[in-house]
Amino acid sequence: MVLDHLKFRAKIMLILVLSAVGMVILVGMALVNLKTEMMDARRLKTQHLVQTATTMVGHYVEQANFGTMMEDDAKKAALEAVAVLRYGDGSYFWITDTSNTMVMDPINQELNGKDLSKITDATGKAVFAAMTDVVAKDGAGFVDYLWPKPGTTEPVGKVAYVQAVADWGWIIGTGVYVDDVDMAFRKELVDQGVRVVVILVLALALSYWIGSTMVVAMGRLNKSMHALADGDVSIEPAGQGRRDEIGDMARAVLVFRDNAVAMQALRGEQEAERVQAESERRRVLAQLADELEAGVSSAAQAVNAAAEKMRGAASGLTEEAEHAASETVIVVSAVDQTAGNVETVAAAAEELNASINEISRQVRQSADIAHDAVQAAERTDVVVRGLTESAARIGEVVGLINTIAAQTNLLALNATIEAARAGDAGKGFAVVAGEVKSLANQTAKATGEISLQISAIQTNTDQVVGAISGIGRTIDKMAEIANSIAAAVEQQGSATQEIARSVSEASKGVQDVGVHMGEVAQAADRTGNAARDMLSASDHLAEDARTLSVGLATFLGEVRKM
């Protein structure tokens, strides 16, 4: 609020000003009411006087109406009675009629019988015409106008009251000057103004004295409060002995001072406790720093040791992966060579199958052309010698396949050993090596069967040789021998087809071994890469451990400084 920003002296003066304004308003209203009452009293007096004169004239009207007096005599008697009436300082009554003609004026008798409608006051108001209008409208009433007093020319205020005498058409009136009312009002205004000024001066002096006393006391108290706020607890607030609000405030400031003294003592104790707590905190921090340094240092050393062990393991794993990769290359090369040899065996088996087919055809021809037995025997002898050579070549191929199978089995064994050394990273390699070993065993089994078939072929060949040597003894027995040869050839054809199928499966197995060995080589490469990554990670771990040690030393240094 605006009052919150005003000084006490200004607030007191504001109260005084508002009081003065209120007093002036009240006095003004009282003076206005006083003037109104004075005017009303004057009007009421005039009204009563006219009513008295009208009553008197009414008596004569009744006399005339009752016949006691003649109307003219009654009017004459009434005019004489009214003419002698006086009140106040010689004030009188006059009588006019409704046509604004003066019937009787006891002072200005020259006006009697004259038309008064043109007579006006200083403002131009037709006075008697206005009186006639009031009577015509209400039967009686007041008329205000300006008229000079007798012996003067200056018009002053005057009020007249007029009332009708209806039976005779008369208007009885009288007027009183109201300038004395104005004079009395002005006198009362001056008197009241003097009283108000005296009261305001006294109130102003009293307010100033009270305000000064309050302002001085409040200033001293304010000074004491500022000193207390600045920490001066030696103050003695002024006004403690007063019994007003200022005294209450002074005693409250004294309570604040006592509380401030207690607070200073409490702050001293708190400061001592704070210093002690700070010392204890430093001691605990130092102890924690030592414990942290010991724990983290040992952990960092353990991390370094683990990193070194990891680095050594990674280095060994890298070497093993490289060795496995080189061994895989050797195995792949051997597998490629085995595949070539198996293809050679397959080609030989196909040639053997063709030879057997040819033998079958020749045997059938020998049965058909028995008469050409000699030529057939010769051709058969040639064919049997070719078969012997083919059987010998097949034996050589079977021996070579056995050698390859033995080498493959040995390589699979070595691969299994290397996979076991590689640990988890070599599990896939071990599976592949097992498959290679299984295929080598199957190849060895197949070559064993081929050896048996070749032995059978050799046996049959011996029988053919015996048969050819006995051709000369009997031609009839040749057909039987030819049939035996045909049966043996058919059996050998089946065996040869089985050999071809086994060799084909061996070729597929060797190809699968090559594919798996390629995967083994890729796995070995991945193992080497992983080992190198682990080696790099171990180096980073060791570096992080050293960084942790340095950071810990810096942190502990800062903690010990706190």
Output the CA–CA distances (angstroms, integers) from residue 397 to 103, 391, 496, 512, in the order listed.
188, 10, 14, 22
Rounded to an integer, the average pLDDT of 246-269 is 80
* pLDDT bucket at 488, cuts 50 / 70 / 90: low
Kindly state whether residue 297 falls inside one of the protein's structural domains. no
Residue 110's SS3 state is: helix
Query: So what's the pLDDT on residue 163?
Result: 96
* pLDDT bucket at 349, cuts 50 / 70 / 90: low
Helix (H) or strand (E) holding 372: none
One domain, residues 386 and 535: yes
**What's the predicted TM-score (pTM) here?**
0.36
Contact indicator for 433, 524 with CB cutoff of 8 Å: no
Query: So what's the pLDDT on residue 474?
Result: 61
Q: The domain spanning residue 443 has which CATH number?
A: 1.10.287
Helix (H) or strand (E) holding 144: strand 140-148
CA–CA gap between residue 349 and residue 338 (Å, rounded): 16
**For residue 58, pLDDT beyond 90:** yes
Find all residues with CB under 8 Å of 247, minimum gap 6, and list them.
Answer: 239, 240, 241
- Beta pairing partners, 158: 145, 177
Kindly state whether residue 437 falls inside one of the protein's structural domains. yes
Kindly state whether residue 501 falls inside one of the protein's structural domains. yes
CA–CA gap between residue 494 and residue 178 (Å, rounded): 172
Calculate Rg over the CA atoms of the chain: 79
Termini Cα distance of the chain: 52
One domain, residues 74 and 198: yes
Give per-residue pLDDT as tens, 444-460: 787 777 677 767 766 76
**For residue 363, pLDDT beyond 70:** no
Contact indicator for 523, 431 with CB cutoff of 8 Å: no
The domain boundary, picked from 174, 205, 236, lies at: 205
Q: The domain spanning residue 29 has which CATH number?
A: 3.30.450.20
The domain boundary, picked from 178, 205, 232, lies at: 205
Rounded to an integer, the average pLDDT of 348-366 is 65
Residue 523's SS3 state is: helix
Phi-psi map region of 244: left, alpha, beta (phi>0 left; psi -120 to 50 alpha):
beta
Find all residues with CB under 8 Å of 365, minimum gap 6, and list them.
Answer: 376
Kindly state whether residue 520 falls inside one of the protein's structural domains. yes
What is the length of the chain? 562
**For residue 346, pLDDT beyond 90:** no
* pLDDT bucket at 100, cuts 50 / 70 / 90: very high
One domain, residues 55 and 197: yes
Give per-residue pLDDT as tens, 240-257: 777 777 778 778 877 877
Query: So what's the pLDDT on residue 278?
Result: 82
Query: So what's the pLDDT on residue 471?
Result: 56
Kindly state whether residue 253 falls inside one of the protein's structural domains. no
CA–CA gap between residue 6 and residue 16 (Å, rounded): 15
Total domain count, the chain? 2
Range ranked top by mean pLDDT from 82-91, 211-220, 280-289, 528-537 = 82-91
When mean pLDDT is compared across 131-140, 392-401, 460-469, the lowest value belongs to 460-469
Query: So what's the pLDDT on residue 115?
Result: 93
Query: So what's the pLDDT on residue 476?
Result: 66
Kindly state whether residue 302 falls inside one of the protein's structural domains. no
CA–CA gap between residue 335 and residue 510 (Å, rounded): 6
Residue 160's SS3 state is: strand
Query: So what's the pLDDT on residue 63?
Result: 92
Kindly state whether residue 315 falls inside one of the protein's structural domains. no
Our CA dihedral for 363, 364, 367, 370, rounded to 10 degrees, sits at -80
The domain boundary, picked from 205, 236, 252, lies at: 205
One domain, residues 178 and 37: yes
Q: What is the residue range of 516's domain?
A: 320-561
Query: So what's the pLDDT on residue 207?
Result: 77
Rounded to an integer, the average pLDDT of 177-197 is 81
Kindly state whether residue 265 falls inside one of the protein's structural domains. no
One domain, residues 195 and 331: no
